[in-house]
Structure 1
Amino acid sequence: MTANRRPVTVGVDGSPASFGAVRWAVDEAVRHGQPLRVTHAIAVAGALERAADEHEVALHAAVEARTWHPGLHVTTSTWRGSPARVLLDQSQSASLLVVGSRGMGGFGSLRIGSVGLQVAAHAHCPVLVVHHAERWAGPDVPLPQHQPIVVGADSSAHAEFAVELAFAEAMSRGVPLVAVRAWQEPAHHWGRATDLTQCAAGAYDMLAAGLEPWRAKYPTVPVDLRTVRGAPAPVLLAEGRDALMIVLGPRGTGGFDDLSMGSVTQQVLDHASAPVLVARH
């Protein structure tokens, strides 16, 4: 993600889903040359003995991470507090925050609409939400390797950062990038017909112009530009159905003019089957 050594941070609770999230976090840390920080939250204060037992959750995940990649630098932390608050605090010093979309135990409320949504909406770094992360809980199950990365692109500053992250991910993985811009028919004016061909061409020209500097910076990344008529969330979900990852900003303008937490981003987080990377600064 960046050239510094801010850790990739992953939230764990001992569930299969959290172990799947750890595998994605390990892969991201190794791919981008970052250390890994495994974090567990104890939502209810208890005896010191319980705190020691609870820290075993993070320690066990760290042992597994080191087994998968022996050279990876891994640290652990266990905190008392609500899972969302713990993760948001940890995000201040992280390069990337990784969570499963659901869990149990210390992150029992981790589902889109609660902790996952709070983290995606307020974190101080990019957030990778791994849907159905239990699919990758076992080390014998390969992580996705060859599918394209889909990014929602418009002219907003948030989408600009999403495009940057998407290009970096695609380059590190050696996979193509699919840049998507949704467009909708403008409001009808009495006596004036809408030229849908012109609308589509205008959307494509804007998409191409916005991507030009990033294509120059990442010339080895194959890029497919797609402008699709329709509402932003359904378009992104359809285009990302078979994607390795969907990347989008927390809000936007232009082709994704209603992209904000609680609208398009929330819909994608709620319904996507692929992991979703929310490009928060």
Structure 2
Amino acid sequence: MRDAEILVGYDGSTDASVALDWALAEAERSGQPVRLAYVFEWLTVASWVGPGVAPGVWPDDTARRQVDDLVRKAAADATAAHPGLTITGEVYDGPPALVLQERSADAGLLVLGSRGHGGFGGLLTGSTAVAVAAHAHCPVVVVRDGTAGGPDAPVAVGVDGSEPSLVALGFAAERAAQRRVSLRVLHAWTPGPDGAAGKPDEQAAVEEALEPWRRTYPELDMTLDLVAGSPAGTLIESSRSAQLVVVGSRGRGGLAGMLLGSVSQQVIQHAGCPVAVVRER
């Protein structure tokens, strides 16, 4: 759904603004429309609803109008800075994670800041990011303020042979080709008691998975690194020098009933650059 809109979880916080900037840069490359989504949960308005917005008492129509103004101004400012893009803003009512999951069904990409105020408070340290990444109908990108990796840094992706990781590989290859940067494909293996690598056919299997993307993007510099260590640790370390790390929602070791694997969760929590969690629609 490359023509579908980029949905940005926006609450006016610094990290939400960083996520919006990332989404706008992505839209400049893809031409996709951008929609700012403020999820207004009435139970939170007694604490914090937005910068410059006075706390209210539930239910507070004044706070709701202030939030509408906040989102409308953010969309207008973004449009002024990016006149070639279609940018809209909308306020939704309900639990943030649930609303974003529902709205993601019509989106091509969902972008979130690492932390926020109001409905997005506790993101990454609580359950909101995990819930959204696990249940969203489109890829989810979590952007952290002050992350490393400039415009020439590579895109990194973890591949373990599972179907979700192969879907993630396609997403990563497309983004790397679009950005004209290299793609670093990482496959982590655990040394045996004698220090030897895992199955000797693992590298061949991953190389075979890369072939369709080498043919699709012949100009793309694609490297495969087999790394001894844990998958999560390998991806987190790679994030220090990447502009984007891409992971599948769960890997080969995940249980069938799990919607988000432990590796994906750890990378979301600790990566030094934006993280894309990709799962099949």
TM-score by length of 2: 0.87
For residues 218-266 of structure 1, give each alpha carbon's deviation from its aligned partner in whole angstroms, at most 9, with x where no partner exists.
Answer: 111101110011111111111222110100100121xxx3496251111
Q: 1:203 to 1:112 in 2, by over 3 A?
A: farther
Cα deviation, residue 92, structure 1: 1.0
Q: Does 1:11 find its partner at 2:9?
A: yes
3-state DSSP class of the match of 1:241?
helix
Matched with 1:82 is 95
Matched with 2:109 is 96
Matched with 1:271 is 270
- Measured in 1, the distance between the counterparts of 2:125 and 2:222 equals 30
Matched with 1:203 is 202
- Measured in 2, the distance between the counterparts of 1:109 and 1:3 equals 30
Match of 1:105 among 118, 140, 153: 118
Match of 1:56 among 47, 69, 86: 69
Matched with 1:117 is 130
Matched with 1:215 is 214
3-state DSSP class of the match of 2:184?
strand
3-state DSSP class of the match of 2:203?
helix
Moved more, 58-67 or 121-130: 58-67
Q: Is the 8 A contact 1:150 1:245 kept in 2?
A: yes
Matched with 1:246 is 245
Q: Is the 8 A contact 2:149 2:240 kept in 1?
A: no
Q: 1:109 to 1:179 in 2, by over 3 A?
A: same
Matched with 2:47 is none
Amino acid at match of 1:196: A
Cα deviation, residue 64, structure 1: 2.5
Matched with 2:48 is none
3-state DSSP class of the match of 1:252?
coil
Matched with 2:31 is 33
For residues 46-65 of structure 1, give each alpha carbon's deviation from its aligned partner in whole angstroms, at most 9, with x where no partner exists.
Answer: 23332111112211221222
3-state DSSP class of the match of 1:92?
helix
Moved more, 173-182 or 211-220: 211-220
Identity of paired residues, percent?
Answer: 38
* Paired positions, count: 262
3-state DSSP class of the match of 2:24?
helix
Matched with 2:55 is none
TM-score by length of 1: 0.87
Unaligned stretches of 5+ in structure 2? 43-57
Over the aligned positions, Cα root-mean-square deviation in angstroms equals 2.1
Matched with 1:191 is none
Q: 1:143 to 1:180 in 2, by over 3 A?
A: closer
3-state DSSP class of the match of 1:227?
strand
